[in-house]
Structure 1
Amino acid sequence: MSTATDPQELALHPADSHDLIRVLGARENNLKDVHVELPKRRLTVFTGVSGSGKSSLVFATIAAESQRMINETYSAFVQGFMPTMARPEVDVLDGLTTAIIVDQERLGGNPRSTVGTVTDANAMLRILFSRLGQPHIGSPQAFSFNVASISGAGAVQFERGGRTIKERRDFTVVGGQCPRCEGTGRTSDFDLTQLYDDSKSLNEGALLIPNYTGDSWYGTIFRKSGFHDPDKPIRKYTKRELNDLLYKEQTRIKVEGVNVWYEGLIPRIQKSMLAKDRDALQPHIRAFVDRAIAFATCPECDGTRLSETARSSRIRGTNIADACAMQISDLAEWVRGLDEPSVAPLLAKLLYTLDAFVEIGLGYLSLERPSGTLSGGEAQRTKLIRHIGSALTDVTYVFDEPTIGLHPHDVQRMNDLLLRLRDKGNTVLVVEHEPETIAIADHVVDLGPGAGAAGGTVCFEGTVDGLRGSGTVTGRHLGDRTAPKETVRTPTGRLEIRGATRHNLKDVDVDIPLGVLCVVTGVAGSGKSSLVHGSVPASEGVVSIDQSAIKGSRRSNPATYTGLLDPIRKAFAKANGVKPALFSANSEGACPACNGAGVIYTELGFMETVSTTCEECEGKRFQAAVLEYRLGGPDNSKDISEVLAMSVTEALAFFGAGEARTPAAHAVLDRLSDVGLGYLGLGQPLTTLSGGERQRLKLATRMGEKGGVYVLDEPTTGLHLADVEQLLGLLDRLVDAGKSVIVVEHHQAVMAHADWIIDLGPGAGHDGGRIVFEGTPADLVAARSTLTGQHLAEYVGR
């Protein structure tokens, strides 16, 4: 345990801040006055069950305070443009260094963002082609799909002979953007019947686009623009009127005394809806986009995003589009073969970056891959690229489960990188469940003992060996090994896949057994998801659950997503003799000040949106009058905001007995508990959930469906060792109930527990895409013929 005792005493007599980061009295979220002393320039791993407080300590306290203090070094003028960060709830924090956070937040879903643009590899390639490409077509921007080619004239001003001279000069900007798709690689065809009803006039409500109907502001701009008759049906518009309605370029006009920009419907939709990540759109807008717009690969650039001129310049027969489409491991070899002394430093830097991708197990990606399509684990490792060769030392690197999505073969590579960062003189803080990564720690902090209100304390602090003998939940399960089954289930049928060629699959033929637990394995990028999600038909009876973002707005939470809130609202309404709608923060019961959001959002244009707790409802989301209504007995009654603040486990007890007993709610809560989400808050925003939590939430929601085949994508993501046992029990119950369960998974406990294993490989990208083993886990261990087999054999001690 920590040697810290009295925070005031320790604050007066601080330890050597050159050697320790001291946290005294941390109370963020569920932390209960936590004291820890973390050695600097060492690797510290934070362990504990999901929801025990690891992220609250590492990210919400240590990293947040480091970033807040860095922001305070800027001038007051600059700080005025930055979001205000509150100081974490902690008594003392000293010995902090600059924190670099490498988390699992998905990379921006901007359609113009690719793996190449977010890592600077694309920028280096553009410079390379501008120097060596033949024919020479211009500067690096001539190879950029984000720069359009334009010509025009403008005024320039310069000094000559003591006089200021103004001249108007012609100019040309040569960019690499495909003019047809404007650098997005795809075209969008609009179904005009979904934009407007041409039998009506604008005043009669012709526009059908969300936020443009009725008396909305956008609708008012179009009705009063003066470019068309608002009382004339659209089908009677002249050619010019229709063009102004659909395509007119931005023009300044005055509407109701206010200067505004008018723009045709199609360019306005392209900027306000199509330029954003589809999954980030509000549900009703996303539905509109899906029905109104058909997307296709741009026929002019064939999806490369680049103009014909940009693609005409080549280095040894390869243009920049070809280079960006290569698997990164292949691109590295191509760059290695370029012997050009004039650009030697550039080649060395580019090659170092590409080799870093390969080193951390991402060599199967391509630079043209849209960044928004990367998984949380892939995104985190991509962010790591810029730090691998950094000359910075004595900084604090903060990682959130960096082994997520990694095959056991790749976990060792990640461990080597973490140790390399430490050995350069940096402090490395890692939140992790993976035993192989916990094993390399210099220092371990184990939080718990449970999740949510049952967690938030330091159960152990010390060495890995000390953790093993500590008796904590983590310590007891650290050496867990699941042996292969002695007897496996007999399949009841089979699902035939023939000639699968999706992505890197090489004409794969395989039979997936039904009525059993089938696990699909292989290194990251070997083709597992392509086989399962691309080849298993999404027909009736197939419940496919992946880790993609859950559709919904920032108002969504587990209670609304699972349908749990419906029986809860009805229970409150029945107990108090009022309408159920009063107990919805999105309906009649909403706080009028924040419209039921609980926070006030302030848009800062080009900067991040800032949210502040609503002062009217103090973040509770409901009107004060609604909070007067209560549910439960006199000794245990709750208002609706208090119920939404409960964890699943707390709500199970509340709705399971007494006056609050609600069987319909209890059934949903049971399923949430079954998938290991007992610590999750009912009102917790869905945007705060990890990929693994999102998937298990989907699983809990869809367990009530009448599906015969369940397809799961790495369901152990983010699970503590103790929770993996619970998940295995759930999978067994599904199979024993007559379901077929197909799991894409890296976790060796799940592999060992399988009835049947299908292993893909032998490598990633074009080195994968083949079936390298089919059989039982025991046979895979005995054969040791694949990477998976070798690591599984080590895991089970064979």
Structure 2
Amino acid sequence: MRPPSTDQLSVTGVRLHNLKSVSVSIPHFRHTVCTGVSGCGKSSLVFDCIYALCEYELLQSLSTYARGAIPLPVVPDVEHASGLLPPVVIDQADLGRNPRSTIGTSTEAYTFLRLLFARAAVPVLDASAFSFNSPEGACPACRGLGQILTPDPERLFDLSKSLGEGAIRHRAWKVGGRYWNIIKATEFFEMDAPLGQWPKEKLDHLMHAAPAEVANRVPGFVQRFTFEGVVERLRERLADDRGLDSADYDAQFFTTQWCATCGGTRLQQRALACRLNGLNIADAAGLAVPELKNFVRSLEMSTLATVVDSLSRILENLEMVELSYLTLDRPITTVSGGEMQRIKIARELGSRLMGILYILDEPSRGLHAKNVEAVNSIITKLKERGNTILSVEHNRAVVELADNIVELGPGAGSRGGQITETGTPADFKNSSGPTGRLLSAAKQHISPPPPKAFTEWHFFSDLRRNNLKIEKLKIPRAALTCLVGVSGAGKSSLLEEMQLRDPASVRVAQRQIGASVRSNVCTYLNFFDEIRNLFAKKANASASLFAFNSDGACPECGGRGSITLDLHFLGSAMAPCRTCNGKRYRAEVLGYTWQDRNISEVLELPVEEAATFFREGKKIRSALELLLGCGLGYIRLGQSLDTFSGGELQRVKLIYGLNDPTALYLLDEPSRGLHPDDIERIVSLLRTLTARGKTVVASEHSLDLVARADWVVELGPGAANAGGKVIAAGTVREIIRATTSITAQYLKSYVRPGT
């Protein structure tokens, strides 16, 4: 038998999700890009197969005792694998939205800065005294947050309305919701009187009441519950150290002020009194990266050499990814998606290991074309160190950099899962497939929309959030506007401010969907209730009987449809539940049908079939039409969201926002995770909105989408304090001729010559 090749990573016969017995080879010490339309199987191959196999083999090298403390990954179904390498993943997950996290804590640079001050500052204190996340160092007034939140009644309440009319503007207290029902059941408040007519003490009680156990006499409600003032409940949510997804939304109902006790430094006065070369630790953390690096290197004590070297290396890596403008005290909640992606890459640059398989999930995500150039140089540097790079990517500049390309397809879902072509970028330029179209400049040229005579505008003035310095801004109504600019220029801040100025607007932010085995498009898009009600009406039964998370769930698997098999030191594996055979429901529930299908069979329908199957249900019809319009007709209604690709999740999240009727939609990078072929569908969907008189404003880096916009606003010229200004605005034709535009030189290559 011939020994396996040692110059490549090979897997054969991969059968996972939609992959159809796929075989692939990844050359060692080269950069391979895996590409294809969204949902074709890229993530399944790269992450669920190759990464899982490499991680499993790496963990298997540990002792049995050590493996017992580490959950082993599920081993994918493959016929053979060889040439596996120790893996490191740089994925799309956020660094977190914990209000206590900063650039310094996320990169560990602040840890080394604390050590420097603990060893060399005067007077001498323990390192924990310089930590705002420990009781020994945190300011007692703001508890280490650096800010004090003050509720804004005008943002939180509409005083002209009663509680019954929806006077509380926060979505958690919507009329008929859980918190609203608790207020009603207390019988403390007049539900039909406008809040503006309430006595001050009654309004204060609604806002600031301490938690209290209340007995309820109203039929249909839980008999005992806890009532708490609206503001106090929101304060608890905002103080949660886990950085909940709701934190950004909750914060808009408060005004933020710097803590007067610590001056926003987060630390106790005894820590601020310690000096090192004339600076306290807050001063040092407030320096830009190059200035901090010079300060650190000026310390000549031999006992600090190791700490100085470690901190300097982190700062140099931040410079390498063009983040030299950052300061260690900047909250991680203010970091843009592109900045966050580069921070994660910078953390890996500090490693001196060789022979690593670096797996990058869309390294260009959230980056302007100018920033992508820097990321490409980092990929090359990692490769030249003797590592193997495997990227999932759609960006033309990154794909062109590859030594090897693997294209999956030809379609998405069940229509994909095959390797359609492999080769070098030069090989693909003559291909007629999606990657061939991506790399061929002639095929990629886009004709911008014809000029429009805009007569109505949204006007905004004095925009000052974060780094914004905009006196006046106008956005055309009933049009698609793209906000462009380098990463960190202020695009997300502008969307946040626009949302604040127009509370009726709908914003689809960058946050990822919390995908789990129990969630699917029906539950996430809120039309599963209508489906269950159709079954319940015909069966004359409770709708909860048709919920796999409630009364109808299979007792063996709890409605998951599968069980986890613990194979001890071999890890774990998923297997269909033997009681329900993967159908999630109890047998008696499956005896009920609607239009000759039981609830499990309905959940197995692809969206395109469901669109003809359901002839009633307003929410059902609306959601299915949007799913079809986004090119998701192949996904099954009951398919769990944890099996969706990044591009599929992005479109589902977009649909969730667009399903909410409004006049102004604010979108954060709607093209994220999408192949250029998929972007055309998104543009078509957005065009249906503008045709109905709706205004769409999208922060965007994909030049495929920007080239199709009606209007473009460019922020810059740089990032952070060097950005926040409008440096160009106009149609695509005007932008590519604007001498002040940074985007113009990159956008020109996407637009049809002579435009």
Assess same fold via TM > 0.5: yes
Which residue of structure 2 lines up, in the alignment, with residue 208 of structure 1?
Answer: 226
**Aligned 1:135-214 pairs, distance under 5 A:** 135-149=122-136, 176-185=137-146, 193-197=209-213, 208=226
Q: Which has the larger radius of gyration?
A: 1
Distance 1:435 1:643, change over 3 A: farther
Which residue of structure 2 lines up, in the alignment, with residue 15 of structure 1?
Answer: 4
How far 1:290 moved relative to its partner?
9.3
Is 1:278 matched up with 2:244? yes
For residue 360 of structure 2, the aligned residue among 399, 410, 419 is 399
The amino acid of 2:128's aligned partner reads Q
Distance 1:392 1:517, change over 3 A: same
TM-score scaled by length of structure 2: 0.81
Which residue of structure 1 lines up, in the alignment, with residue 157 of structure 2?
Answer: none
For residue 772 of structure 1, the aligned residue among 708, 727, 731 is 727
How far 1:31 moved relative to its partner?
0.6
For residue 410 of structure 1, the aligned residue among 342, 355, 371 is 371
Alignment length (residue pairs):
682
Is 1:465 matched up with 2:437? no
Q: In 2, Cα distance between the equivalents of 1:336 and 1:795?
A: 45
Q: In 2, Cα distance between the equivalents of 1:39 and 1:746?
A: 30
Which residue of structure 2 lines up, in the alignment, with residue 734 of structure 1?
Answer: 689
**Aligned 1:59-208 pairs, distance under 5 A:** 59-133=47-121, 135-149=122-136, 176-185=137-146, 193-197=209-213, 208=226
Listed one character per residue, the Cα deviations across residues 120-159 of structure 1 (whole Å, up to 9, x for unaligned) are 21111112223443x333233331223333xxxxxxxxxx
Q: In 1, Cα distance between the equivalents of 2:109 and 2:673?
A: 30
How far 1:626 moved relative to its partner?
2.0
Which residue of structure 1 lines up, in the alignment, with residue 285 of structure 2?
Answer: 324
The amino acid of 2:734's aligned partner reads D
Distance 1:738 1:108, change over 3 A: closer
Q: In 2, are the aligned partners of 1:376 and 1:691 still within 8 Å (CA)? A: no
Q: In 1, Cα distance between the equivalents of 2:255 and 2:505?
A: 27
How far 1:75 moved relative to its partner?
2.1
Is 1:624 matched up with 2:587? yes
**Aligned 1:709-724 pairs, distance under 5 A:** 709-724=664-679
After the TM superposition, which of the residue ranges 322-331 and 420-429 deviates more from structure 2? 322-331
| Structure 1, gaps ≥5 residues long | 1-11, 150-175, 211-264
How far 1:197 moved relative to its partner?
4.2
Distance 1:678 1:350, change over 3 A: farther
Q: In 2, Cα distance between the equivalents of 1:483 and 1:780?
A: 15
**Aligned 1:228-377 pairs, distance under 5 A:** 274-279=240-245, 298-328=259-289, 331-332=292-293, 334-335=295-296, 343=304, 346-371=307-332, 374=335, 377=338
Q: In 2, Cα distance between the equivalents of 1:123 and 1:388?
A: 18
Q: In 2, Cα distance between the equivalents of 1:431 and 1:536?
A: 33
**Aligned 1:565-584 pairs, distance under 5 A:** 565-573=528-536, 579-584=542-547
The 3-state SS of whatever aligns with 1:274 is coil
Listed one character per residue, the Cα deviations across residues 253-272 of structure 1 (whole Å, up to 9, x for unaligned) are xxxxxxxxxxxx99xx9799
For residue 27 of structure 1, the aligned residue among 7, 15, 18 is 15
Is 1:791 matched up with 2:746? yes
Q: In 1, Cα distance between the equivalents of 2:22 and 2:110?
A: 45
Q: In 2, Cα distance between the equivalents of 1:612 and 1:722?
A: 35
The amino acid of 1:508's aligned partner reads E
Listed one character per residue, the Cα deviations across residues 36-62 of structure 1 (whole Å, up to 9, x for unaligned) are 111111100000111111111111111
For residue 422 of structure 1, the aligned residue among 365, 374, 383 is 383
Q: In 1, Cα distance between the equivalents of 2:689 and 2:439?
A: 27
The 3-state SS of whatever aligns with 2:729 is strand
Distance 1:792 1:598, change over 3 A: same
Q: In 1, are the aligned partners of 2:507 and 2:657 still within 8 Å (CA)? A: no
Listed one character per residue, the Cα deviations across residues 750-775 of structure 1 (whole Å, up to 9, x for unaligned) are 22222222111110011111111122
The amino acid of 1:93's aligned partner reads A
Which residue of structure 1 lines up, in the alignment, with residue 461 of structure 2?
Answer: 498
Q: In 1, are the aligned partners of 2:538 and 2:594 still within 8 Å (CA)? A: yes
For residue 586 of structure 1, the aligned residue among 512, 524, 549 is 549
The amino acid of 1:651's aligned partner reads V
Q: In 1, Cα distance between the equivalents of 2:402 and 2:245?
A: 37
The 3-state SS of whatever aligns with 1:783 is coil
Q: In 2, are the aligned partners of 1:364 and 1:525 still within 8 Å (CA)? A: no
Q: In 2, Cα distance between the equivalents of 1:115 and 1:675?
A: 36
The amino acid of 1:466's aligned partner reads D
Q: In 1, Cα distance between the equivalents of 2:94 and 2:724?
A: 26
Q: In 2, are the aligned partners of 1:596 and 1:622 still within 8 Å (CA)? A: yes
Q: In 1, Cα distance between the equivalents of 2:15 and 2:515?
A: 30
How far 1:632 moved relative to its partner?
5.3
Q: In 1, are the aligned partners of 2:408 and 2:416 still within 8 Å (CA)? A: yes
Distance 1:105 1:687, change over 3 A: farther
Listed one character per residue, the Cα deviations across residues 675-717 of structure 1 (whole Å, up to 9, x for unaligned) are 3434544334456667765553243234344322222111111
Which residue of structure 2 lines up, in the alignment, with residue 243 of structure 1?
Answer: none
Which residue of structure 1 lines up, in the alignment, with residue 171 of structure 2?
Answer: none
Listed one character per residue, the Cα deviations across residues 465-515 of structure 1 (whole Å, up to 9, x for unaligned) are 222323323323433434453732222312222121110112432222222
Q: In 2, Cα distance between the equivalents of 1:495 and 1:550?
A: 30
For residue 641 of structure 1, the aligned residue among 600, 605, 624 is 600
Q: In 2, are the aligned partners of 1:49 and 1:720 still within 8 Å (CA)? A: yes
Distance 1:280 1:546, change over 3 A: closer
How far 1:390 moved relative to its partner?
1.8
TM-score scaled by length of structure 1: 0.77
Distance 1:797 1:392, change over 3 A: farther
Which residue of structure 2 lines up, in the alignment, with residue 5 of structure 1?
Answer: none
Identity of paired residues, percent? Answer: 37
Q: In 1, are the aligned partners of 2:448 and 2:751 still within 8 Å (CA)? A: no
Q: In 1, are the aligned partners of 2:459 and 2:474 still within 8 Å (CA)? A: yes
After the TM superposition, which of the residue ranges 68-77 and 585-594 deviates more from structure 2? 585-594
How far 1:556 moved relative to its partner?
3.2
Q: In 1, Cα distance between the equivalents of 2:99 and 2:656?
A: 30
For residue 525 of structure 2, the aligned residue among 553, 562, 569 is 562
The amino acid of 2:129's aligned partner reads A
How far 1:583 moved relative to its partner?
1.9
Aligned-pair RMSD on alpha carbons? 3.8
